[in-house]
Amino acid sequence: MLKQLQKKDTFVFNAIKSFKLVKSGENQITVFFPSDSAKVEFDKVSREFFNHFKTKVHNFSIEIVYQRDVENLKIEVMTKRKIFEKFAQKNPLLKDLDDLMRFDLT
């Protein structure tokens, strides 16, 4: 299902790829999420995801508990623009070259 989501909606996939699921009890799963915005994106697909999961394991009495865990799950997404800006801080001539050439860093 996650592979399908990666092809269908990459924005939601990137938001939830840092989630961690842990079995915390016999019928309980704890979902650790890094930010509230990522949880909002996960809520869009959570019903379908957990219905698929419960069907796969043949256990429909599973309870889901959400817990925020910023320290262990923080992942920074490096875009081409952020990478370029990082290098431009080290070498200011890159900024001048970008102004001259107008690089497409989308």
| Residue percentage of the chain with pLDDT more than 90 | 14
Give this prediction's pTM: 0.58
Confidence of residue 28 (pLDDT cuts 50, 70, 90): very high
Q: Tens digit of pLDDT for each residue in 51-90? A: 988 899 898 899 999 998 866 555 566 788 888 888 999 9
Average pLDDT over residues 8-25: 83
Are residues 32 and 19 in contact, defined by beta-carbon separation less than 8 angstroms? yes
Are residues 94 and 87 in contact, defined by beta-carbon separation less than 8 angstroms? yes
Ranges of beta strands (E only) in 1-106 are: 20-25, 28-33, 63-68
What is the amino acid identity at position 13? Answer: F
Closest C-alpha among 27, 101, 19, 34 to residue 70: 34
Average pLDDT over residues 23-36: 88
Task: Determine the 3-state secondary structure of 55 from DSSP.
Answer: helix
